[in-house]
Amino acid sequence: MHPILKLLVQRIALSLLLLLAASAMIFIGTQILPGDVAQSILGQSATPESLANLRAELGLNEPALTRYFDWLFGALQGDLGTALTNGRDIADSLGVRLKNTMFLAFWAALISVPLAIFLGLLAVRYQNRWPDKLISAVTLTSISIPEFLIGYVLMYFISVKLGWFTSVSTIYDGMSLGEKLSAIALPVTVLTLVVLAHMMRMTRAAILNVMQSAYIETAELKGLSMFNIIRKHAFPNAIAPIVNVVMLNLAYLVVGVVVVEVVFVYPGMGQYLVDHVAKRDVPVVQACGLIFAAVYIGLNMVADIVSILANPRLRHPK
């Protein structure tokens, strides 16, 4: 088998094993939560008979291993179960919520990824000069402040004081694209500031590491400008670590939006998860956790695959 194909198969197999392990951890975590699901549904005034009947109806009397495999095989077939609090199909509800979260993450990524790469290249071009120091200072400041604090500060000044954008980022199907973009302007800004610093600094570090290579010195001796050296020689050879950090931050944009969605009351998966955690709706919590895990592991797998394909020694073995 070709070395690159062997590595790809290994990465995919490892990702599937990680997802299986994550599903087991999610199930165990929801089972050891304090409290009783049946009690939380029926309330404190429920009789022991009604509680026993509901536990039997929900399958809570079955062994944990049986319930885990029933849930796992159902999820593999697209059946995520039914919400305990409202009786709705979880897959249908999550479809809308996941669409909203992906919409928010898409626009945040569309702004943050090109901007981070550009600022990283600019910092390398003016290394140890005032543009590099200014970019590093601003990005370090943004990465040091919690996203909920950034969100409340932007909400106060931009929404309350200036009235430019709404503080509640609600979107629905009847809205035009312009209305949706106006509604998500503040959460997109927060997410961009949060992930921008990490991607920019990793881009800068990766390119500076490549700049120490012998072929970069050869390019300098040939009289190439610093801009062309970075663009033609350093950046293409630093693409693997840059792709890795970009994918990690894209995963954060999907998985780590819980705080931002709660702050701006955005109808995404994060808000949906928090609402049902408070209600102890275990099937919804399990479904959200499994989807978040699948997205995170999947994007990391893509990053590994791109890194393998970007390695010329693997593409062209001796």
Question: How many C-beta neighbours within 10 Å does residue 273 have?
Answer: 23
Token pair listed for 19: 């997802």
Closest CA to 288 of 266, 265, 264, 272: 272
Does the reported pTM lie above 0.95? no
First to last CA, the chain: 14
What is 90-292's CATH superfamily?
MetI-like (1.10.3720.10)
pLDDT tens digits for the chain (318 residues)?
Answer: 666 777 778 888 888 898 888 888 888 877 776 666 665 666 566 666 666 766 666 666 667 777 788 778 877 877 777 777 766 777 777 788 888 888 888 888 888 888 887 887 787 777 778 877 888 788 777 777 777 787 788 887 887 777 777 777 777 777 777 778 888 888 888 888 888 877 787 777 777 777 767 666 676 666 666 667 766 666 666 666 777 777 777 777 777 677 787 888 788 887 787 777 777 777 788 888 888 888 888 888 887 777 777 666 655 555
Rounded to 5 degrees, what are φ and ψ at 89?
-70, 125
Q: How far apart are CA 232 and CA 308, in angstroms?
A: 20
Closest CA to 230 of 121, 138, 82: 121
For the chain, what are the domain ranges?
A: 90-292
Question: How many C-beta neighbours within 10 Å does residue 262 have?
Answer: 17
